[in-house]
Chain A
Amino acid sequence: MQVIWWTEPWSATPVAVEGVWNVWQPVALTAVVTAFLVVALAYMLGIALNLDGLRKWAKSEFYQALASAVIVGGLIFMIDIMLNEGFQTMIGGMNPYKKAYVYLDGVMSSLYYIYINVYRTNFLLEFLASFTIYSNAVGFDLSPLEIILSPLSEHFHFQAYVVTMAAILTAFQRALIHLFYNTGFTVFIPAGVLLRIFPWTRGAGGLLIAIGIGLSIVYPIMFTFVAMMSENPSEVRNKANELGNSIGGFDLSEFGACASDFGVMADFATEKALSPQLKAASAWILGWLSSVWLKIFYYPMLVLIVTFTFIRTISPLLGADITEIGQGIVRLL
C-alpha cells in the first residue's frame, strides 16, 4: 500500500518516498556491511603482511564505517517515523511544507494584486499623459499633462518593475521548495548516504546529505517561523485593492485636466509640477509596496542565510569540507 505523503495542491500524484526508500534501504545497509567487511579484510592483511600503514588506515576507516552505520540507522528510523506517522510528527504537529506553500502563495497573491492595481491606476495616468496637441504646419508637439503626470507614472513603472522581480524571486523560492519536496528524501539523502560510506566519495556524500537535510527540512521550517512573524496576506490584498479603487484624492481637475483653454491648462501644469500635493501623492504611491517589502526581500534573504549556514555547519560533521568551495561559490555569485 502506497503511503500518501502530503500532496501538493496542484498535483494529484503523491511523492513515492516509501517506494524509493524500499530500494535505497537495503542498498544502504549492504553498503555499510561491505564497508565493515573491507575494513576487516584490510586490517587482516595489514597484520598478515606487517603493513603498519594499512593497519592504521583500516582502524580509521572502521570509525568512519561506524559513523556511516549510525547515519544510515538514524535516517532509516527518521524516514520510518515520517512515513508511518507523518512529517508533522517530527516538528511538533505542523507540516512545514504546507506552511511554506501557504506563505509563498500569500506573497505571490499580494504581489499579483499590487500589480493589477498599479496597472489599473497607471492606465488612466498613462492615457492622460499621452494626450498631445500637435500642429504639422507650425511644427510643434506638446503633452501638457505629462509634466505633472510623468513623475507619478514613473513611480508606477518602478513599482511594476519591483513587483515583477519580487514575483520571480518568490516563484524561485516556491520552485526550490517543490524541488526538494520531491528530491530531498528520494535523491539527495539516499545518494549522499551511499556515497558517504566509501572513503573516496565521503566528501561528496556528506555534502549531499547536508544539502538534502538543509533544503528539505530547515528551509521550509524557516518559512513557518517567518509566516508567524508576518501579517495576513489577505490584509495586504485588501489594502492594495482599496488603494487601487481610488487614486487617493488626487483630483486631476486641480491640475488643469478639465480646462478648456490650452493656455490655462499649461499654466496650471507648470504651476503645480512641484506642488506639495504631487509630492504627497508620490510618497503615497511608493507606500503601496511597504506592506510587502519585508516579505519580498528581507525574509527570503534571512531564510536562505540560515539554511546555507546550517548546511555549512553540518557538512564537516558529515565528512565534507566546503569552506573553500563555499567562498568560491559566493564569489561567483
Chain B
Amino acid sequence: MKKIIIGLLLISLMLCGCTVTGGQMTVTPACSSGAVSPGFETYWMNWQGLSFLAASTVFLLAAFVYTLGHVLIHQKVIMWAKQQMEEAILAMAITLFVIGFVSFLCTLDLNTLGIDTGCTGANCNLVNVAFGRLSSFYTVIMRGFATVLMLNSFMSNAATMTVGKAFGVGPVFTPLAVFGDVSQSLTAAIIVLMTSAIMVLTQMILLKMTESLFVILFPIGVLLRSFGATRGFGGGLIALSIGFFFFYPLLAVLFYGAVLGDVELTYSGMASSFENAGLSPASTEWVTGNPILELLAGFVGKTIVGAIFMPLVMFMILVSFVKGLSYALGEEVDVSNLTRLI
C-alpha cells in the first residue's frame, strides 16, 4: 500500500504543473492576467482524465462489491460499498468543477462585493489586492523607518558634539549629551519597525507562494481523494491549498483594509510634524500640540497591530478554516502542530 501511495505521489508530481529544466524547477501559476493561466489549464487537462479514471474505477469496483454484498447478504460490505460509491461521485464532481472554481478565484472582482480595492479590471482578484495592500503597508513602514533613522542619526550626532578642544590642554564638555537618551529611545522604535517590516515582507512572499502552492497541492489532493486509502490525505491537501490560496488572501484584504488607512494617516502626521520641527531641538513641535515623540509612539503602536498582532490572528483563523474544511473533505489537518516544531 505504501508503495502504491508513493507511486501515485510521484506520478502526481510529474503531472502537477512542475517542469524541470536545466536544474531549475518552474511552477505554472494558477492565475495570470486576471484569468486562469493557459499553462494550468493544459496541465489540468492531463490530470482531469487521470482523476476521472481513478474515480470511475473506484465507482465500478464499489458497485461490484455492492452487488457481491447483496448476494452474500453482508450488511457491512454493502455499507462500505455505498460509502465508496458516494465518495467516487463526489470526487468526480470535484474534478468537474476545478477549472470553474479556479476561474472564479482568478476572476473574482472584489469591487462587486462592495470592498473598495482601489484597482480596476483584471487585477482586482483576491491575491493581487491582498498583495497590493501589504505592499502599501510595507511602504508606509519603511517611510516611517527612514524618518526615525534620520531623526536618530541627528540625535546621536548631537549627543557626541564636543566643545573646547583647541589648545592641547583645558576643559572639554559635551553640551547635548542627553540626546543619547533620546537616541536610545529611537533605537528601540527602529528595532520594532524593522521587525514589523520583515513580518510584512514575509507575508508578501507567502502570498506569492500560495499561488504556486495551490498548483502543486490541489491536483495531487484531488487525485488522492479518489482512492479510499488516500482519501483523508487528499482531502487534507485540498483544504490546505484552498485555505492558502483563497482564505488567507481574503483575510488579508479584509483586515489590512481596516489597518492601512489609519497607519498612513498617523505616518503623515508624524512626518509633517517632524518637517515643521526641522532639526531644531528648540522647536516647540517636540513638546506642544501633538508632540513628535507621542506621534512616533502612536505610529509604532499601530505598526505593531498591523504587522505582528494581525498576522497572528489571521493565522489562527486560517488554521481553524483548514481544520474544518479538511475534516469535511477527508482527514482533519492540524497545521497548528507545526508551531510545536519551533
Chain A residues within CB distance 8 Å of chain B: 23, 51, 53, 108, 112, 115-116, 118-119, 122-123, 126-127, 129-137, 156-157, 160-161, 163-165, 167-176, 178-179, 182-183, 187, 191, 195, 199-204, 206-208, 211, 320-322, 324-329, 331-333
Contacts and interface: CB of A to CB of B under 8 A. Distances in A.
B42 to A, nearest CB: 30
A179 B298 CA distance: 13
A179 B323 contact: no
A161 B291 CA distance: 18
Q: A interface, by DSSP: helix, strand, loop or mixed? A: helix
Contacts of B114: 23
B324 interface: yes
5 contacts: A127-B173, A164-B184, A170-B297, A171-B300, A187-B258
A332 B181 contact: no
B304 interface: yes
A154 to B, nearest CB: 11
Given A171-B302, A174-B298, A328 B340 contact: yes
B181 A321 contact: no
B22 interface: no
Nearest first, the 5 A-B pairs at minimum CB distance are A171-B301, A328-B339, A130-B174, A126-B177, A204-B321
A322 B301 CA distance: 27
A175 B324 contact: no
B305 interface: yes
A70 B294 CA distance: 45
B304 A115 contact: no
Interface stretch (B1-9, B64-72, B310-318): B310-318
Residue picked from B162, B316, B318, B339, most chain A C-beta under 10 Å: B316
Given A211-B313, A329-B336, 4 more contacts: A156-B181, A163-B185, A165-B188, A176-B305
B119 interface: no
Interface in B160-209: 162, 165, 168-175, 177-178, 180-182, 184-185, 188-189, 192
Residue picked from B86, B184, B185, most chain A C-beta under 10 Å: B185
B258 A130 contact: no
Nearest to A332: B339
B300 A204 contact: no
B71 to A, nearest CB: 19
Nearest to B301: A171
B96 interface: no
B337 interface: yes
Contacts of B320: 203-204, 206-207, 320-322, 325
Contacts of B171: 131-134
A133 B185 contact: no
User: What size tier do the contact residues of chain B reach?
Assistant: 35 or more
B83 interface: yes
A45 B79 CA distance: 17
Contacts, number: 184
A316 to B, nearest CB: 11
B61 interface: no
A168 B181 contact: no
Contacts of A132: 171-173
B181 A122 contact: yes
Contact of A136 (B169, B297, B301, B317): B169
A195 B324 CA distance: 11
Given A135-B169, A168-B189, A201-B324, A324 B336 contact: yes
B116 interface: no
A157 B184 contact: yes
Nearest to B291: A112
Given A137-B168, A168-B297, A207 B181 contact: no
A171 B298 contact: yes
A149 B315 CA distance: 50
B137 to A, nearest CB: 13
A227 to B, nearest CB: 19
Contacts of B282: none
B81 interface: no
B247 interface: yes
Contacts of B334: 324
Nearest to B181: A160
A321 B323 contact: yes
A213 to B, nearest CB: 14
B328 A199 contact: yes
A325 B333 CA distance: 12
A183 B339 contact: no
Given A132-B172, A204-B320, A164 B177 contact: no
B309 interface: yes
Contacts of A23: 114
Contact of A332 (B83, B317, B342): B342
Nearest to B339: A328
Nearest to B269: A10
B319 A325 contact: yes
B252 to A, nearest CB: 12
A127 B175 contact: yes
Residue picked from A126, A175, A326, most chain B C-beta under 10 Å: A175
A329 B317 contact: no
B178 A122 contact: yes
B290 to A, nearest CB: 9
Contacts of A136: 168-169
B293 interface: yes
A325 B322 CA distance: 12
A126 B180 contact: yes
Given A51-B82, A168-B188, A201-B324, A182 B174 contact: no
A206 B320 CA distance: 9
